[in-house]
A = this chain, B = another copy of it.
Amino acid sequence: MENILENCCRAADKVRERCPLVHCITNYVTVNDVANCILAVGASPIMADDIAEAADITSISKALVINMGTLNARTVESMIAAGKKANEIGVPVVFDPVGAGASSFRNETAKRILENVKIAILRGNLSEMSYLAGLEVSTKGVDTSEADEKNDPVSVAKKTAAKYGCVAAITGAVDTVTDGERVTRIYNGHPYLSKVTGTGCMTTGLVGSFAGSDIDMYTAATAGIACMGIAGEIAYEKCGHIGSGSFHIAVIDAVSSMNGKLFAEKARLEEK
């Protein structure tokens, strides 16, 4: 078993060498930031959500990111068609179940996606992942509810990974990534990241960029999440005192300077 930190550092360089095309079916709130984060880390985004081309675009891509942030009946079908195509041709699928637990439409859609598409990496907050693990939740919109903070992220992540046969990642004050057996906890990040919309979606876009670069899924999830955490720390140091607009831009700046060397200096990972 190799060291997760070394693997992540190599991954941070590899994504820039490979520049994988990452197909995203994502929400319209944060889509611009997701695309710019994918470019910033060294990959190439393509957003296409019509059923008439979703599977075709997946066919030319190296990873598929599905994000249900602003779900609608039209794009759900595209998510499933693209996901099935990805499974058929061996393209990894990263799924961000935004707001799972918050409405029955989201719950049913998450269920349909998970039943019809084999997910490689599932990334959500503790409320969303608790819901998908089958626990009782009290979701307040798209953020983790206080009530759900009683759940232990390591055990929820393990349960989710086992249930769906995937790498499960729970982001929060400390992030958790597991393939069901190995567990890494990531101590990078900054609370100010929650003052900018879409840092979760951007993280999922980064995870997709790593997943499309011929990197194992456990490393891809860890590297993508740590990358956003490191960017948040650098951005806060530089612009936290100015305000959330400048911090937002500084996050993208920091992602655009990410590489193996910076990763090695800044990452704080603990594998159990």
Contacts and interface: CB of A to CB of B under 8 A. Distances in A.
Interface of A: 21, 27-33, 35-36, 39-40, 44-53, 56-57, 60-61, 69-74, 99, 102-106, 140-143, 194-198, 242-246, 248-257
A140 to B, nearest CB: 6
B29 A47 contact: yes
Contacts of A255: 243
A40 B244 CA distance: 7
Contact of A244 (B27, B45, B248, B253): B253
Contacts of A48: 70-71, 99, 103
Contacts of A102: 46, 56-57, 60
7 contacts: A36-B196, A48-B70, A50-B70, A243-B255, A244-B253, A244-B256, A245-B249
A118 B137 CA distance: 32
Identical chains in the assembly: 3
DSSP class of A's interface residues: helix, strand, loop or mixed? mixed
Contacts of A198: 32, 35
Contacts of A143: 44
A30 B27 contact: no
Contact of A245 (B40, B44, B197): B40
A73 B50 contact: yes
Which of A40, A57, A69, A249 has most chain B Cβ within 10 Å?
A249
B56 A104 contact: yes
A38 B194 CA distance: 12
A15 B70 CA distance: 25
Nearest to A254: B243
Contacts of A56: 102-105
